[in-house]
Each structure stands twice: as structure tokens, then as C-alpha cells.
């Protein structure tokens, strides 16, 4: 492609409203332009990258036997009523009416449409399993669109839906997608982790998020420094450390006056102890029932884990001051598990190991010291209810937990029968009996993946494309178009390199060398070939974008040099 009339406008300055690097660089290198808040147009360079990522996805999906379909963006609202999501989805779901005032939604996802399709056309176990996917535009009216195409309102997704006859079948479909996703993100040149995640309210049993490691990520990942373990901190399990009471002498409980000492910080300062020695007590209301939650003072309660202990619960909330007074006769800050009656008490495993600990005395301005819950609290359940922390042992027993931020680019999810039951997608089994199909769903944010690639692959001068997703393979530059030797050699190489099946962007603009080189670094194609003063000697300058390596290469050695550099 000749750059002179290529619609690839570059910006020298950082656009004011672009907070993160990928957004800045995608604007500056002319990959995207904003059409409205959270709504973008892809210019030719951006569209080329999008297509490369799509082709990587398509190839890997096809290799698993998944079948490509295309479903509409406009979906009848009735379908969403059938599944029960029309109300539940809230203002993120864009809605519209047609000329006959019939209600439609713009697809935020396609469970309803695909389930109704499969319901109508598959009746027998003989036609299963099936996994269908599409690469298609999705709509979510984000409250706060930002970060360019990383969180936008119209975006491209690959979504796949598997239909199986058994849980074992679903396990296989799930695993096939999981493995395909690993290959896809590896090919995209991403540093990512497959992370165990919360299955949310849907009650799936298994779910993984594919997280691209990045400081700007909105999720926190807990991962092991010595194994493959990685999980969203929302759900990362904590390995229970067994109590070792022999080390320390167990003392008798004492009540201490602690005036105005409420928080863990105040307690540790006042009593001159470590936070690990304290027991944090929080009263929760779970569907109107009080539940006293205990964690070690240096730990944080994880409400998602509590919700997993109460799978049917409609609401889980911290008790109000009034409620705390009502049930424990005391305000928060001085509450604790001793002498508590008729209230469920759940303690994190780590609380069991505290020897001679400190907790509130359910009496204003008083705490107990020398508390040992095993001895002092009669009815107590232990569970994993805290957030994992950096430095914790990895739950798989290998290594220590570290934290990283991640951008979610993919998600695999076992849906089970939620949609097939709601929409009546059943099949006749070998005995001729109807059963609901067992579903999985699998998403990749395609446009978001492009942004994540840029976020992970850039330097101070611009983008550094991994070769598999680079919009072009080579950037050929004639430094001085007015110099006939240079421009002629440019034309010659432009055709030769394309004949070798390279995608070539040819900078034939009547611009200064500085402008050309700056734009070239910004675009970030893997290899730059500059034709300059030594054109007459049939020598060009080759630069590797990623390493900055520079070579002077004779024309007749150019092909082998490029081949070597690209294969590296």
C-alpha cells in the first residue's frame, strides 16, 4: 500500500482525553477515530489489525470443529423476556422500537438467539454436540465508556455457544475452548493468564477469564510465583494453614477497657500488638438473618465467598448500627464472638490459628484479650471467607501468591441448563426422553484484544506490533522522494517485496526524513527498510522495530536478511 494516499493520519500530540497508552497510540497512529462517546471507526491500519486477530481466532475455532454462524444485532425483546434477562440487564442493554412500535434490543450477547435457534432445529442427541460461534458486533451502553476500544459501547466479539448432552460432554467442549483460547492469545503475542473467576449469579461450576497482564487492567489477579495457578482475587481460594497451638501458652480471657478504640489500627496501637493477633468481627445481614463473620485483623472479608456459602441468598449486606445494637447489644467496633447466642458465627480458617487473640467484648469501650476461639466460642463454623493476599502460600501448594492487574480479553463459562430450560431447548436422549441441553458460552473481546496488544507492546516512540498481528510485514521508506535513485529503488523494492508475498507499506510521501521515521516508529511495523544516500550502491538500511537493531544490507541479500529477521 502506498502511504501517500493511505488514510493513516498520525498525530504528534497526545490526545487530551486519552488516559492510557493503547488509547493514545491507537489514535496517534491513526488506527481509530471516535465517532461518538464509546463508539469508534477503524481506519485502514486499525481494520487490518482487527482482521488479523479475527483470522487467528477463526482458524483456532474452526480447528476445534466449531461452526461459524452470524446472528443479528437486533433481537426481539420477547426473547429476553423468555430468558428473564430483559429487566435484569438494566440500562446497559440498548433498546429500540421499530416502525410498528415493537420492542427490540441491540444484542449485548446472544444466548437467547442461539438457544432459540438450536431449540427449533436440533431435536435429537444424534445431532449433538454442537458448538457454534460468530464474530459479530455487540452493544453495551456502558455507564462510563473509556480507554478507547478497551471499554466501548459498540464492539466486536467472538462469541461461541456449546450444546452438549451430558456434563462430561460440556467438560470436553469447555476444555477445547480453553485450549483454543490459550493458542489464540499466544499467537496474538500477549502475555496473559487463564484465571479462575467467579461464575456470578448464574451458578456455573467452572469459569476462567483470560487476563492480559497490564497495570491499567481493571481486575486483580492472584497468581503463584512457582506454578500455573492464577485466579481473580474475587474468588482465589486461600489455603488453610493448620493450627499449631503447641508453640504458645494459652492464657485466660481478660476483659480490657479500650476507650474509643474501634478499628484494627486503633486496637493494635492501643494494645501494642500485631494485626495478626486481632480478630475482626463483622455482623452481616443475610436475607434478614444476622451472621457474625470473623477474619484475622490483617485480612479482608470477601463477600463473594460468603455469597457462595449462601447460594440462594437474595441479599448480603453489612448490618446497620441499629441492627448491630439490636442483635449484639453494642455498636460496631466493639463486637466479638464471645457469649454470642442464636447467631450463626462463621470464622475464616486463619482465625482458628490465633493464639491469645483480641476481639470486641460486645460492650462499648471494651475488648477481650487472650481469646482462643476453639476454646472460647462454642458454636463456630470455619470457611474460606477472606481475600487472598500477596505473600500467602499458593492454594495449589506451589510457591507464593503475587498480585497483578489484568485486562479481561476472554471468558469461558459453563452455563449448564439456565438458558436451555428457560427457552425450552431440549433433545431426545437415546431412550427417547426429553432432556435440556447442557450449554457453555465462550467470549473473546476482539476489538479489546487489539487494544490489549497495543497496551502490552509499545515503547516511548510508538507501537511495537507482534508480527502475527502487524497491519503490514514491512515498512519500506524512500527517504528523499525527489532523489531519482532513491525513488526508483523504492518502486523496484515495493514490487519485489510484494512478489515475495510480504504485505508492504511504502512511504512514498514527499515528507522530510524526520517525519517519515517518526511515523514509522509510531506505526510499529516489525521491520523497516529505509532507502537513503547509499541507494546508488544498492545498499539499504534495515531496522528491527522491537530491538532497535540496525543493519546495512545489500539489495541482493535483502530477501534472506528479512526472512531471518522475521523468523526470529
By the rule CB under 8 A, 424 interacts with its own copies: no
User: Considering the complex, what minimum distance in angstroms separates the CB of residue 72 from its own copies?
Assistant: 5
Whether 169 contacts 129, CB under 8 Å? yes
By the rule CB under 8 A, 309 interacts with its own copies: no
By the rule CB under 8 A, 124 interacts with its own copies: no
Q: Hey, which residues between 48 and 77 contact its own copies (CB under 8 A)?
A: 48, 50-51, 65, 67-76
From 14, 86, 89, 141, residue interacting with its own copies (rule: CB under 8 A): 141
Angle between helix 446-456 and 44-63 (nearest 10)? 110
By the rule CB under 8 A, 122 interacts with its own copies: yes
By the rule CB under 8 A, 260 interacts with its own copies: no
Stretch that binds its own copies, among 139-147, 236-244, 325-333, 386-394 (CB under 8 A): 139-147
Which residue lies nearer to its own copies by CB, 49 or 195? Answer: 49
First vs last Cα of the chain: how many Å apart?
25
User: Considering the complex, what minimum distance in angstroms separates the CB of residue 208 from its own copies?
Assistant: 25
From 20, 23, 42, 448, residue interacting with its own copies (rule: CB under 8 A): 42
User: Considering the complex, what minimum distance in angstroms separates the CB of residue 201 from its own copies?
Assistant: 22
By the rule CB under 8 A, 117 interacts with its own copies: yes
By the rule CB under 8 A, 17 interacts with its own copies: no
CA-CA distance, 189 to 187, in Å (whole number)? 5
CA-CA distance, 346 to 309, in Å (whole number)? 10
Q: Hey, which residues between 428 and 457 contact its own copies (CB under 8 A)?
A: none
Which residue lies nearer to its own copies by CB, 137 or 417? Answer: 137
From 26, 56, 132, 401, residue interacting with its own copies (rule: CB under 8 A): 132
User: Considering the complex, what minimum distance in angstroms separates the CB of residue 319 from its own copies?
Assistant: 33
Whether 155 contacts 149, CB under 8 Å? yes
Which residue lies nearer to its own copies by CB, 163 or 223? Answer: 163
Q: Report the 3 state secondary structure along 125-164.
A: HHHCCEEEEEEEEEECCCCCCECHHHECCEEEEEEEEEEE
From 113, 170, 235, 423, residue interacting with its own copies (rule: CB under 8 A): 113
From 5, 244, 260, 431, residue interacting with its own copies (rule: CB under 8 A): 5
By the rule CB under 8 A, 106 interacts with its own copies: yes
From 82, 89, 137, 466, residue interacting with its own copies (rule: CB under 8 A): 137
Which residue lies nearer to its own copies by CB, 99 or 341? Answer: 99
CA-CA distance, 329 to 201, in Å (whole number)? 34
Angle between helix 44-63 and 167-187 (nearest 10)? 140
Nearest-CA neighbor of 451 among 205, 175, 146, 124? 146
Coil vs helix vs strand at 35: strand
Whether 410 contacts 181, CB under 8 Å? yes
By the rule CB under 8 A, 15 interacts with its own copies: no
Stretch that binds its own copies, among 3-11, 198-206, 299-307, 462-470 (CB under 8 A): 3-11
CA-CA distance, 119 to 200, in Å (whole number)? 25
Which residue lies nearer to its own copies by CB, 116 or 372? Answer: 116
Angle between helix 555-567 and 484-499 (nearest 10)? 50
CA-CA distance, 419 to 440, in Å (whole number)? 10
Q: Name the helix (H) or strand (E) containing 263.
A: none
User: Considering the complex, what minimum distance in angstroms separates the CB of residue 94 from its own copies?
Assistant: 6
User: Considering the complex, what minimum distance in angstroms separates the CB of residue 16 from its own copies?
Assistant: 15
Question: Which residue is listed with cell 498520525?
Answer: 10
CA-CA distance, 84 to 419, in Å (whole number)? 9
Question: Which residue is listed with cell 497483578?
Answer: 404
CA-CA distance, 565 to 568, in Å (whole number)? 5
Question: Which residue is listed with cell 515495493?
Answer: 494
Q: Which residues pair with 421 in a beta bridge?
A: none
Stretch that binds its own copies, among 44-52, 209-217, 282-290, 523-531 (CB under 8 A): 44-52
User: Considering the complex, what minimum distance in angstroms separates the CB of residue 135 from its own copies?
Assistant: 10
Whether 137 contacts 155, CB under 8 Å? yes
CA-CA distance, 445 to 185, in Å (whole number)? 11
By the rule CB under 8 A, 154 interacts with its own copies: yes
Q: Is the peptide bond before 129 cis (omega within 30 degrees of 0)?
A: yes
By the rule CB under 8 A, 413 interacts with its own copies: no
On the CB side of 156, how many CA atoms lie within 13 Å of its CA? 21
By the rule CB under 8 A, 237 interacts with its own copies: no
By the rule CB under 8 A, 129 interacts with its own copies: yes
Which residue lies nearer to its own copies by CB, 67 or 495? Answer: 67
> What does residue 259 show for φ and ψ, rounded to 5 degrees?
-60, 125
From 4, 381, 533, 554, residue interacting with its own copies (rule: CB under 8 A): 4
From 200, 329, 397, 510, residue interacting with its own copies (rule: CB under 8 A): 510
User: Considering the complex, what minimum distance in angstroms separates the CB of residue 161 from its own copies?
Assistant: 11
Q: Which residues are at the interface with its own copies (CB under 8 A)?
A: 1-2, 4-7, 9, 30, 33, 35-36, 39-44, 46-48, 50-51, 65, 67-76, 91-92, 94-96, 98-99, 102, 104, 106, 113, 116-118, 120-122, 126-130, 132, 134, 137, 139, 141, 143, 153-154, 509-510
Amino acid at each position: 500500500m502506498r502511504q501517500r494516499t493511505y488514510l493513516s493520519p498520525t498525530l504528534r500530540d497526545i490526545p487530551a482525553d486519552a488516559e492510557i497508552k493503547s488509547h493514545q497510540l491507537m489514535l496517534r497512529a491513526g488506527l481509530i477515530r471516535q465517532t461518538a462517546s464509546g463508539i469508534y471507526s477503524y481506519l485502514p491500519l486499525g481494520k487490518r489489525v482487527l482482521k488479523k486477530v479475527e483470522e487467528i481466532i477463526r482458524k483456532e475455532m474452526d480447528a476445534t470443529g466449531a461452526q461459524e454462524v452470524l446472528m443479528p444485532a437486533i433481537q426481539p425483546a420477547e426473547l429476553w423476556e423468555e430468558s428473564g434477562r430483559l429487566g435484569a440487564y438494566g440500562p446497559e442493554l440498548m433498546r429500540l422500537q421499530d416502525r410498528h412500535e415493537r420492542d427490540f434490543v441491540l444484542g449485548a450477547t446472544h444466548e437467547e438467539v442461539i438457544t432459540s435457534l438450536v431449540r427449533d432445529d436440533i431435536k435429537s442427541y444424534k445431532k449433538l454436540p454442537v458448538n457454534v460461534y460468530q464474530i459479530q458486533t455487540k452493544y453495551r451502553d456502558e455507564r462510563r465508556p473509556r480507554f478507547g476500544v478497551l471499554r466501548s459501547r459498540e464492539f466486536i466479539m467472538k462469541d461461541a455457544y456449546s450444546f452438549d448432552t451430558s456434563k462430561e460432554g460440556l467438560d470436553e467442549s469447555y476444555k477445547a475452548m480453553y485450549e483454543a483460547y490459550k493458542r489464540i492469545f499466544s499467537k496474538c503475542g500477549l502475555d496473559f493468564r487463564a484465571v479462575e473467576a467467579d461464575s456470578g449469579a448464574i451458578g456455573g461450576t467452572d469459569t476462567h477469564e483470560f487476563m492480559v497482564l497490564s497495570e491499567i487492567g481493571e481486575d486483580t489477579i492472584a497468581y503463584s510465583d512457582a506454578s500455573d495457578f492464577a485466579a481473580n482475587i474475587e474468588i482465589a481460594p486461600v489455603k488453610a494453614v493448620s493450627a499449631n497451638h503447641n508453640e504458645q501458652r494459652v492464657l485466660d480471657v481478660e476483659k480490657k477497657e479500650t476507650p474509643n478504640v474501634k478499628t484494627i489500627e486503633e486496637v493494635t496501637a492501643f494494645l501494642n500488638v500485631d494485626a495478626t493477633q486481632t480478630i475482626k468481627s463483622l455482623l452481616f445481614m443475610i436475607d434478614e438473618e444476622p451472621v457474625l463473620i470473623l477474619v484475622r485483623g490483617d485480612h479482608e472479608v470477601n463477600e463473594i465467598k460468603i455469597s457462595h456459602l449462601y447460594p440462594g441468598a437474595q441479599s448480603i449486606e453489612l448490618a446497620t448500627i441499629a441492627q448491630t445494637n439490636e442483635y449484639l447489644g453494642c455498636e460496631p467496633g466493639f463486637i466479638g464472638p464471645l457469649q454470642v447466642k442464636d447467631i450463626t458465627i462463621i470464622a475464616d480458617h486463619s482465625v482458628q490459628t490465633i493464639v491469645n487473640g483480641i476481639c470486641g467484648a460486645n460492650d462499648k469501650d471494651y475488648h477481650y484479650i487472650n481469646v482462643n476461639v476453639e476454646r472460647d466460642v462454642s458454636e463456630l463454623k470455619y470457611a474460606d471467607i477472606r481475600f487472598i493476599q500477596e505473600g500467602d502460600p499458593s492454594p495449589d501448594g506451589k510457591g507464593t501468591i503475587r498480585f497483578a492487574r489484568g485486562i479481561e480479553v476472554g471468558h469461558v463459562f459453563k452455563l449448564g441448563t439456565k438458558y436451555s430450560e428457560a427457552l425450552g431447548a431440549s433433545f431426545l436422549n437415546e431412550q427417547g426422553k426429553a432432556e435440556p441441553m447442557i450449554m457453555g458460552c465462550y467470549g473473546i473481546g476482539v476489538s479489546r484484544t487489539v487494544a490489549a496488544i497495543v497496551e502490552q507492546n509499545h515503547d516511548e516512540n510508538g507501537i511495537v506490533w507482534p508480527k502475527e498481528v502487524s497491519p503490514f510485514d514491512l515498512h519500506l521508506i524512500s527517504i528523499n522522494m525527489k532523489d531519482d535513485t532513491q525513488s526508483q529503488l523504492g518502486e523496484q523494492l515495493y514490487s519485489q517485496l510484494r512478489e515475495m508475498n510480504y504485505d508492504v507499506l511504502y512511504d512514498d510521501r514527499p515528507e522530510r526524513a524526520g517525519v517519515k521515521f517518526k511515523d514509522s516508529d509510531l506505526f510499529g511495523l516489525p521491520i523497516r527498510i529505509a532507502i537513503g544516500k547509499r541507494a546508488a550502491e544498492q545498499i539499504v538500511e534495515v531496522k528491527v522495530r522491537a530491538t532497535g537493531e540496525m543493519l546495512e544490507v545489500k539489495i541482493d541479500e535483502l530477501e534472506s536478511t528479512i526472512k531471518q529477521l522475521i523468523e526470529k
